[in-house]
Amino acid sequence: MSLLSLREVRGGYGAITVLHGLSIEVNEGEVAVVLGANGAGKTTTLRAICGMLGRVGGEIFFDDHEITKSSTQAIARAGIAHVPQGRGTFTDLTVAENLRLGAINRKDGGVAADLDQWYSLFPRLAERRDQLAGSMSGGEQQMLAIARALMSRPRLLLLDEPSLGLAPLITKEVFDHLRQINEESGLAMLVVEQNATLALDIAHRGYVLETGSIVASGAAETLVADEGVRKAYLGF
Amino acid sequence: MLLAFDFQLFFDQTMNGVSSGVVFASVALALVLIFRTTSILNFAQGEMALFSTFITYRLAADFDLPIGLAVLVSAVIAFVGGAVIERVLIRPVEDSNHPLNVVIVTLGMFLAINALAALIFIRPGQEALQMPALFPDGKWLGVQKEVIGFALVLVAECVILYLLLQKTKIGLALRAVASNPESSRLVGIHTGSMLMLGWGLAAVVGAVGGSLAAMQGTGFDTSLMQTVLVFGFAAAALGGFDSLIGAVVGGLIVGIANAWTVQYVDALDGIELVVPFALILVVLLVRPNGLFGRTIVERV
């Protein structure tokens, strides 16, 4: 049974339809990646999942519950954490406050222990815990955004172009962290990316999105091996 | 011209300035609370406070509540009223593409609440109402007890707001909504409740300020908060509009500057209002973000 399931999802902004009926599955423990060029509808897909799109058709199920019409905060509380494009940092709050906000709806006593865990994984955040988040570099803010999302102990992590605006070495570091987190905790992830090589490298399953429709999908290795798909959509 | 400087007079005028400064600071705090959470300038803040002031008065005069208790009960009613106004009047017209709509609504509320207050609370033949004093007459260490009491009220407001905003989970959520509403929803914060909370808190601070304002001078009527609102805006601008501490310091500066002008600058008799604004002009020329406003630092 899949953890997240999009069935024939349509939607857009105002009169403009961006998504033309796409179906995506993410299983427990799996990293799925949606690849596509600018304007293909990658960000819109994630916004549709999180209830941030005014107009959505089709059905979205998370953990067997329909969330198509749920509010953004209800979807977050159900266990979907979203790292939006541009990272969504609370720039005028401190690093520590950003992380505590990730855990704001948790009632268990493990928040302090989780904070320590992410500080040890991302030492730069520990050093800067009392600084305003907006004063950090792009790479540090991306790490902060991921750590903040993980503070909610989500069951599914959505990442919108984690490589955007980052130097290649930093991007590599971000993806290495994502792989490590998935391998150690089995956290399911849905990553949308333009950087196909890096994203497919950590993914189990891949989708290729073109102008709001899925044009190719399959196991990550299969997609990489398929010369037709590679030439037409992945550019390598 | 005075030949010998009358220090006692100077001191008394300064203290007068402090007590009106406390009122300006309260209104400025209310304006800043709403501006920070919703980026709205609430032109109706003064009239909302006026309405609460009348409630305080009626609780004390008609229901014989002790004035301290009357202020507290009125503050609770103000909290509910502020939250309801946000939900019923503000949110339906809020639209980031048309930010002026909300401004027009708050201007409409300015007129409507004032008229409503006159209709409900002013009885035929009444002109000025006398709010009972919260603090006793007399002096303590040469300072009017009322001034000390007012200052303590302001300190209490600041301490409570600081603890609430900086030390509680709900305060963190409130600041998160002010910082980034979309990300707040993504971490599961119910942003609507936080906006209602922000308006409720602002209404409480305003209600306290209004009730104190009515204790100064001889009697109050429906025009009580109109100049106070102008001074409150001045105080908030001086402080930088997004800083609570700036609102407090701004309120006291404006209050004291106004009191000195009334006493010492005969040339401005009747138009003392220009002084705080000249002050603001100078401060904003030197520091465009106000005394305590933050320069936005953001790396991408």
pLDDT per position as a tens digit, B229-265? 989 988 998 888 888 899 999 999 999 998 888 888 8
**CB-CB neighbors (< 8 A) of A142 in chain B:** none
Asked whether residue A69 is assigned to any structural domain, the reply reads yes
Asked if B32 and B243 touch (Cβ cutoff 8 Å), the reply is: yes
Q: Is A190 a domain residue? A: yes
pLDDT per residue as tens digits for the range A156-198: 999 999 888 888 888 998 899 999 999 999 999 999 998 888 8
Q: Does A84 touch chain B (CB under 8 A)?
A: yes
Task: Take residue A228 and report the two structure tokens written for it.
Answer: 């037709």
Q: Which chain B residues have a beta carbon less than 8 Å from that of A165? A: 300
Tell if the CB–CB gap between A73 and B191 is shorter than 8 Å. yes
Beta-bridge partner residues of A66? A61
Q: Is the CA virtual torsion B143, B144, B147, B148 positive or negative?
A: positive
Rounded mean pLDDT, A39-52: 91
A9 and A69 together in one domain = yes
Same domain flag for A26 and A130: no
Distance from C-alpha of A70 to C-alpha of A51, rounded to nearest angstrom: 6
Q: Verify that A169 and A225 share a domain, yes or no.
A: yes
Contact indicator for A171, A195 with CB cutoff of 8 Å: yes
Within 177-196 of B, beta carbons closer than 8 Å to A belong to 179-180, 182-191
Residues A128 and A14 in one domain: no
- To the nearest 10 degrees (0 to 180), the angle between helices B7-38 and B244-264 is 150
192-231 of A, contacting B, C-beta below 8 A? none
Q: Do A160 and A70 have their domain in common? A: yes
Mean pLDDT score across all residues of chain A: 90
Domain that holds residue A51: 2-79+154-234
Of A125, A152, A179, which residue sits at a domain end?
A152
Residue that is last in its domain, among A152, A168, A185? A152
Give the integer Cα–Cα distance in Å for A75 and A79: 7
Listed by start position, the domains of chain B span 23-119+140-224
Domain presence at residue A120 = yes
Query: What's the pLDDT score for residue B83?
Result: 95
pLDDT band per the 50, 70, 90 thresholds, residue A87: confident
Do the domain assignments include residue A84? no
A23 lies in some domain: yes
Residue A87 in domain? no
Per-residue pLDDT at B296: 54
- A185/A135 same-domain check: no
Q: Give the pLDDT score at B300.
A: 46
Report CA-CA distances (Å) from B107 to B32, B48, B112, B212. Answer: 17, 12, 9, 24
Question: For chain A, how many structural domains are there in total?
Answer: 2
- Residue B232's pLDDT is 92
Whole-prediction pTM: 0.87
Do A125 and A178 have their domain in common? Answer: no
| Assigned token pair, B140 | 């303590």
pLDDT computed for residue A236 by the predictor: 64
Verify that A186 and A224 share a domain, yes or no: yes
User: What is the rounded distance in angstroms from the CA atom of residue B105 to the CA atom of residue B34?
Assistant: 15
- The count of other CB atoms within 10 Å of the CB of residue B66 is 12
- pLDDT tens sequence across B199-233: 999 999 999 999 999 998 778 888 899 889 989 98
Please give the Cα distance from B118 to B114 (Å, whole number). Answer: 6
- Domain of A168, CATH number, reads 3.40.50.300
| Average confidence (pLDDT) over A102-128 | 89
Which residues 20-49 of B are in CB contact (within 8 Å) with A?
none
Question: Looking at the structure, do residues A61 and A165 belong to the same domain, yes or no?
Answer: yes
